[in-house]
Amino acid sequence: MSDIIRLAAIKKVYDTDAGPVPVLNGLELSIAPGEFVTIMGPSGSGKSTLMNILGCLDTPTSGEYWLDGENVASLDEDRLAEVRSRVLGFVFQGFNLLPRIDLKANVALPLVYQCVAKAKRLQRAITVLERVGLARQVNSLPPKISGGQQQRVAIARALVTQPRVILADEPTGNLDTVTGQEIMTLFQDINKESGVTMIVVTHDARVAHYARRLVYLRDGLITYDGSAADFQEALA
């Protein structure tokens, strides 16, 4: 089966007043459909830049990025927006919910940009809210629910477009330990049940162990790519 994601010789260099700053240095990475991968690395390792490139929020300076069979590395912003809408779902550390509209309207919002009819998008939003355990809260406002519930809404919003890939950037960063564990278990369940490819960027090794595969970055290159369970042994 073809990879859902393939990065080939990806470099990213930022131009600054002090001169060019290389962040990614010829990175190579392939991810198969349905994999659950966590990405870790110290501050300055390039993981945020990598996440932005994977999410079509930024483009590499050079190299190829194949996403769902299309080389997106050189696409313009309009075409990148189309690819994001069709293939990708996003979950952020900050829940990014609109506080004055109810949960089902928050979840349905990405479908507005896909021109889905209102009744259909609200029904789909309710369905995915039920999937993440919020059937009774579909008419609630975000400030009226807990942080863990807000992150579940954010996950539902990522799922509602039926993406091939979900990218989650520090999804437990604003949550207590127990709630974070619940969210990562939900990610596992979604990955197993729907087959959606799951990529989670985290600084927390405990979070990383919810995935089968861990990718570790240092200085813009992958220094470990293997079983999350074997990661600590590899660092020794």
pLDDT digits (tens, 9 = 90+) for 113-146: 888 999 999 999 999 999 999 999 999 999 999 9
Residue 1 has pLDDT above 60, yes or no: no
How is the chain split into domains, by residue range? Answer: 5-93+164-235
Assigned fold of 5-93+164-235: Rossmann fold (3.40.50)
Whole-angstrom distance, CA of residue 165 vs CA of residue 3: 12
Output the DSSP codes for 173-234.
Answer: TTS-HHHHHHHHHHHHHHHHHH--EEEEE-S-HHHHTTSSEEEEEETTEEEEEEEGGGHHHH
Residue 177: pLDDT band with limits 50, 70, 90 = very high
Q: What is the pLDDT of residue 233?
A: 55
R_g over Cα of the chain: 18
Are the beta carbons of 6 and 29 closer than 8 angstroms?
A: yes
Res 41: pLDDT? 92
SS3 20: strand
Question: Of 183, 141, 139, 176, which is closest to residue 158 (Cα–Cα)?
Answer: 183
The stretch 205-219 carries a mean pLDDT of 91
37: enclosing H helix or E strand:
strand 36-40
Across-strand partners of 70?
Answer: 67
Quick one: what percent of the chain has pLDDT higher than 70?
97
Residue 50: its H or E element: helix 47-54
Q: Per the confidence metrics, is the pTM higher than 0.95?
A: no
* CA gap 122, 111 in Å, rounded: 9
